Amino acid sequence: MTEYPTQDTRHGAAVLWTGGKDSSLALYEATLQGFQVERLITFVPTEGRFRAHPLEFLNLQAQALGLPHHTVKIKEPYREAYQEAIAALRERWAIQALVTGDMAEVDGHPNWIRECSADSGITVLTPLWGRGGIELLHRFLSYGFEAIFSCVKAPWLTPDWVGRELDAETLAELSALARDGGFDVCGEQGEYHTLVLDGPCFQKRICIDGYQTKTEADLTYVDFEGMCLRDKESSVPQQQTGAGVSPTLNERQRDHPSAAPEGEDGGLPCD
């Protein structure tokens, strides 16, 4: 859905941030439409932790983007909690518009954030809504974004997909799975999640050094051992949360422990 800025919503926009391809593409598309994104918001359930979207990684992305990142606690009952949290965004930070990476109804349900924002006075922007998955993935790559698969679900994808880059080769494989039926090429049914390392809106890129893959039930996900920010024109790391620097995960040796730490992915949207 294409949104056009008004005088009220042009400034004071925030992106609901998961760190994956959808929220990153929505952020960039919103800026192309004239919205001024001023901060990133991540809703965090009080129980569990994020496997596919580690908060430490999301914080590093925010630094790479040059934007403040805020986590907002959410607990049951979720509808009321989301309604209160969204209303508080306007009161606390004068947010006029929320940008989401939602692209279609999930299981026949309408847009959750739009519903919960109905009485808040905040405009919900969905720049990816109603557009084909293959089109969006090609657009994502054409803009120069770099992303890796951070979590995959069996039986759709095998554990060795974790750490692979989202590129032309993997896109062709995803497209083939979608043609066979039952697989959503964008992972909208939880088939996979991604994390973005770099893109046109990033001031710095994220580099990874060392990780393991961990498996619990039908999910396999990445567990980072070190990460840092690097200037795009330099090989010198700018900020480090672990040892070493590496541009991608594909070049790293990975381990596959049989059990993962307890906790849940936290209910972040698939991306």
167-208: pLDDT as tens digits: 999 999 999 999 998 899 999 999 999 999 999 999 999 999
Return all residues near 259 (Cβ < 8 A) that are at least 6 apart. 214, 215, 216
My answer on whether 179 and 226 are in the same domain is: yes
**Inter-residue contact 149 to 193 (CB < 8 Å):** yes
The enclosing domain of 216 has a CATH number of: 3.90.1490.10
The answer on 235 and 162 residing in a single domain is: yes
41 shares a domain with 121: yes
Count the domains in the chain: 2
Q: What is the pLDDT of residue 250?
A: 37
DSSP-assigned letter for residue 160? G
**Does some domain include residue 93?**
yes
pLDDT score of 46:
82
- Please check whether residues 51 and 155 belong to one and the same domain: no
> Where do the DSSP E strands lie in 68-203?
69-74, 97-99, 123-125, 146-153, 192-198
Q: How many whole angstroms from its chain centre is CA 89?
A: 20
Residue 166 lies in a domain: yes
CA atoms of 189 and 28, how far apart (whole Å): 23
111 pLDDT tier (thresholds 50, 70, 90): confident
Q: Is 161 part of a structural domain of the chain?
A: yes
Name the residue range of residue 38's domain. Answer: 13-125
List b or e across 29-60, with b for residues whose CB sees 16 or more CB atoms inside 10 angstroms.
bbbebebebbbbbbbbbeeeebbbbbeebbbb
Give me the residue label for tokens 């995959």: 152
In a domain? residue 1:
no
Q: Find the CATH number of the domain harbouring 52.
A: 3.40.50.620
Last-in-domain residue among 93, 108, 125:
125
Same domain, 36 and 98: yes
Same domain, 18 and 121: yes
Q: In this structure, are 113 and 150 located in the same domain?
A: no
* 165 and 76 both lie in a single domain: no
Does 113 reside within a domain? Answer: yes
pLDDT for 162 beyond 60: yes
The DSSP output letter for 159 is: G
Same domain, 22 and 115: yes
Overall size of the chain counted in residues: 271
pLDDT recorded at residue 246:
31
How do residues 137-157 score in pLDDT, each as one tens digit?
Answer: 999 999 999 999 999 999 999
pLDDT of 35 over the 90 cut: yes
User: Strands, DSSP E only, in 46-130?
Assistant: 69-74, 97-99, 123-125
Mark whether 118 and 142 lie in a shared domain. Answer: no
Would 271 be classed as within a structural domain? no
How large is the average pLDDT for residues 40-44? 96
pLDDT, position 177 = 96
Do 94 and 164 sit in the same domain of this protein?
A: no
Q: Pick the last residue of a domain from 92, 125, 158.
A: 125
- Please indicate whether residue 109 or residue 9 has the higher confidence score (pLDDT): 109
- Tokens representing residue 222 in the block: 């990445």
pLDDT mean across residues, the chain = 85
* Residue 246 covered by a domain: no
Please check whether residues 104 and 190 belong to one and the same domain: no
Condensed to tens digits (0 to 9), the pLDDT of residues 64-80 reads 999 999 999 999 999 99
- In the chain, % of residues over pLDDT 70: 80
User: What is the reported pLDDT for 109?
Assistant: 67
pTM of the predicted model as reported, rounded to 2 decimal places:
0.84
**Residue 187, SS3 per DSSP:** coil
- Residues 216-265: pLDDT tens digits? 999 999 999 999 999 997 544 554 443 322 333 433 333 323 222 223 33
Tokens found for residue 6: 């008004």
Given pLDDT bands bounded at 50, 70 and 90, which one contains residue 50?
confident
**Structural domain contains residue 268:** no
- Domain boundary pick from 61, 94, 125: 125
Residue 124's pLDDT is: 95
